[in-house]
Amino acid sequence: MFIFGIVIVGLIVFIIFHNGHRKINFHGRKTPEDTLRERFARGEIDEKTFMKMKETLES
C-alpha cells in the first residue's frame, strides 16, 4: 500500500512538472514557438515566413 502511495505522488509530480508538447512555462505563458504556430494557423504569416522565423528561434 505504501508503494502505491509513492507511485500516485510520483505521477502527480510528473503531471505538474511535465508540460508535454505545449511547452508552457511555470507561469502559464506560451513560448514564442507556440505564438508563431498560432500566427501561422490563423493565416497571419505564410509558410516561408513561418519557417524562417522558426529557424531564427531555434538558433
The predicted pLDDT at position 19 comes to 53
Residues of the chain with pLDDT > 90, as a percent, come to: 36
pTM of the model: 0.52
Which has the closest alpha carbon to 49: 40, 58, 59?
Answer: 40
Q: What is the CA radius of gyration of the chain?
A: 18
**Residue 8: which residues within 8 A CB-CB, separation 6 or more?**
none
Give the number of other CB atoms < 10 A from CB of residue 36.
Answer: 19
**Do 24 and 30 touch, CB atoms closer than 8 A?**
yes
Residue 23 pLDDT greater than 70, yes or no: no
